[in-house]
Each structure stands twice: as C-alpha cells, then as structure tokens.
Amino acid sequence: MKRDVSEEASVTIGLDLGDTYSYAFAIDADGVMVEEGRVRTTRAGIMRFLKDRDPCRIALEVGTHSPWVSRFVSDLGHEVLVANARKLRAIYCNELKSDRIDAEMLARIARLDPQLLYPIRHRGAVAQTDLARIRSRAALVRARTLLINHVRGLVKAFGKRLPKCGTRSFSSKAAAHIPEELQAALHPLLSTITELSQQIDRQQRAIVKLAADSYPETASLQQVFGVGPVTALTYVLTLQDPTRFQKSRDVAAYLGLTPRRRQSGDHEPELRISKTGDADLRRLLVQAAQYILGPFGPETALRVWGLTLANRGGKRAKRRAVVAVARKLAVLLHRLWLTGDVYAPAGLPTEQNAEAA
C-alpha cells in the first residue's frame, strides 16, 4: 500500500529554483525554521540535500526546472507542490524580493494551506519529450518567418517588392527579384529558408507518424475541420487525461479562453480572456478558429455562429468571434476525446459528413 506522504510530513520546505543554484528554506510543524541554504540545481545536488531525510512537503514555483525537479523529488518519496506563479502575488509583488524570502514564503504558505499555492500538475516525461518535437517545429517556423520578413523588408527599402507567394516557394520565386546590390547579402538567407522548409517538412511527417502510432485518440479530434495532427497532438499531450476535468467546459477556462472576472457589488466589468494555461495550444486553437471563419472554412453551424458574432461590427467583433470559436473548439475536442464519437458537423450535407468522418 502506498504511504500517504502528506500525513507523514512534519517538515515543509520551500525551494526557490534557480538556473545554477536553488535556495531551500525548511520549517517544522510549528513554523520554526530548522534549516536553510543553497542547493545545486542538479540531480546530484538535490539528492545530497534530501538524502536520508524523512518524507517532507516540498513547495516550488513553476518554471524551467520545475518539471524534472518535481518528478525527481516525488520519486524520492516526498510530497511535491508546484505553485502557480500567476497566483502568488505575495511573492512576485514583494518589495523585498530575494531567493531566501521567496523560499520562505513558499514554505509558510505550503504549511498553512497548500491550496493557496493553486498547485499545478506537470505532464509526464514521455509527454514532455513528445511535446518537445512539436515545439521544435514551431521554433523552426518562427525562424523561417523572421527570415522571410527580413528579406522582404530589405528589398522594399531599395524601392522594389518581392512577389506574393507561399512560404514553401518563397526562395525559388524571390531569387529572381532580388536587386543586384543585395544578391551577396540575401542569397545565403534564401538557402537557409530552403533548409528550414525541408526541416519543417521532416518534423511535420514525424509528428503525423507519432500521432498515428502512439496517440490514436488524436484521430477523433482531427474529424473537426481546421484541426490537424499538430493541433490534435498538442491538445492530447497538454491535457494528458480527459477525465481530470469534471465538465468539458472546464477545458476552456484551463486554457485561458474564458474572460477574467472582477466582480464587486453590482459592478462587474467586461474583461478580456485570462490567457492562463498553455500558450502554444491556445494559439493553435485560435489558428484553427481563424481557418473555420476564413474563406476556406466549410459552411458548418459553428462557422455560421462565428460569422454572426463577427458581423456585429468592427475589428473587435471579429477578434471576439475568433476567440469564441476557439473556446467552443476546446470544449468540442474534449468531448470527442472523452466519448470517441463520430463528429458530424451540423450544416453540412450528409455525404460531406460521411466523407469527413
């Protein structure tokens, strides 16, 4: 039987993670400091600090090192609380901020009431590894976009313009239109753009294969128009377990697609979305919503509903419509994942629904 670490823990440790060194602040059940000091932010350093120590409650803030540290410390038999940094104003708004003070604040909050940390749950090591492939592809796409914009900007500064074309054919079509005086400066960039496009294609094929072989549940999500293998796989790897949400609507709030709330008495202003949760997945859902509302989106009930919102006037209405459709997509994808149903979007003829399914 697995022991209940939270009941055994008599010491609470706040661990303020740093890139090279972390600061640990330990208190007992009465809130009295029993130990403090720097810890090397490596597995060996953390092992030395926790070696031969009774089960503890260890609180740390979410950050670059928190995924592997939380898994490593948990495997050593300790209770780990990964605090949501957005909720800890007592730490990031402190006028006397330091590593020691941050670690002490984490320890004291965790001792009194762990729920005040709004603890999050990191994804597993396998999911993090698979998600790294998607994020590497995204980094390559951003690099290619940056170089293309750079080339277009330089050519424009010399009084000429490059023809409109897709990113895949940019290098071949732009080469003939580059001014002679810029040939030496820009041709190496065109070669780099071509190489980046090839790398992106290889990553894309690998992601499609990964989704089909290791995550067959992504097939249900790709039934929705505008949702491809990258979006579907990112969705599955980010949420990991669909049963962790009591209602499908909770996913929209988890991904920061619902409005913030600041109610006081009879005053409740209309605010923007919270933008909490995974920014990459939120961006992909917004891109899928833009496709649904764009010129190539099929005439489904979701598209008609979104366009009705967009036609209420102005650019702001269009942006709100995109976010609203992305919010509905987050809920819909969770429902499809949970049930495995065949998706038949309302508004399409039966034969098109059958083909999509």
Tens of pLDDT, residue by residue over 297-326, are 888 889 999 999 988 877 788 889 999 999
The whole-number pLDDT of residue 55 equals 92
User: What confidence tens digit (pLDDT) does each residue in 135-161 have?
Assistant: 999 999 999 999 999 999 999 999 999
Report yes or no: 137 and 230 within 8 Å, Cβ to Cβ: yes
Q: Does domain 8-117 have CATH number 2.60.40.1510?
A: no
Question: CA-to-CA distance for 65 and 316, rounded, in angstroms?
Answer: 38
Single-letter residue type at 272: R
User: What confidence tens digit (pLDDT) does each residue in 159-184 have?
Assistant: 999 999 889 899 999 998 999 999 99
The whole-number pLDDT of residue 96 equals 72
Mean pLDDT computed over every residue of the chain: 88
HSE-up (13 A, CA, CB side) for residue 230: 22
Question: CA-to-CA distance for 243 and 319, rounded, in angstroms?
Answer: 31
Cross-strand pairs, 191: none
pTM: 0.81
- The whole-number average pLDDT for the span 322-335 is 95
The whole-number pLDDT of residue 236 equals 95
- The whole-number average pLDDT for the span 34-60 is 93
The whole-number pLDDT of residue 2 equals 40
